[in-house]
Amino acid sequence: MLARGDATQSQHTRQRVALPQEALAMMLGVTRQTLSKELNALAGEGVVSLGYGRIELLSLDALQRMVSTG
């Protein structure tokens, strides 16, 4: 959802989401450590790339498949 922007939920996705892990963890209701572990797993699978204060989406299709399969 963050890749689609604000409440308008644009049809176009952003490749990069500028957001500190701490803020994202708070939005999701998890600890920063738990989020970091999950993001690193996604990075290991080549789905995302992590940088300081940003998450780059490398495979939106893979993320959407993960969401739909649970």
21: pLDDT strictly greater than 80 = yes
Asked whether residue 9 carries a pLDDT value surpassing 70, the answer given is no
The mean pLDDT value of the chain amounts to: 85
Phi then psi dihedrals of residue 52, to 5 deg: -65, 115
Would you state the pLDDT for residue 10?
57
Across the beta sheet with 54-57, what order do the strands follow?
16-18, 54-57, 48-51
Q: Find out whether 50 and 43 touch, Cβ atoms under 8 Å.
A: yes
Please give the distance of CA 39 from its chain centroid, rounded to a whole number.
7
Please give the torsion angle defined by the CA atoms of residues 59, 68, 70 and 35, in that order, rounded to the nearest 10 degrees.
Answer: 40
pLDDT at 6 over 70: no
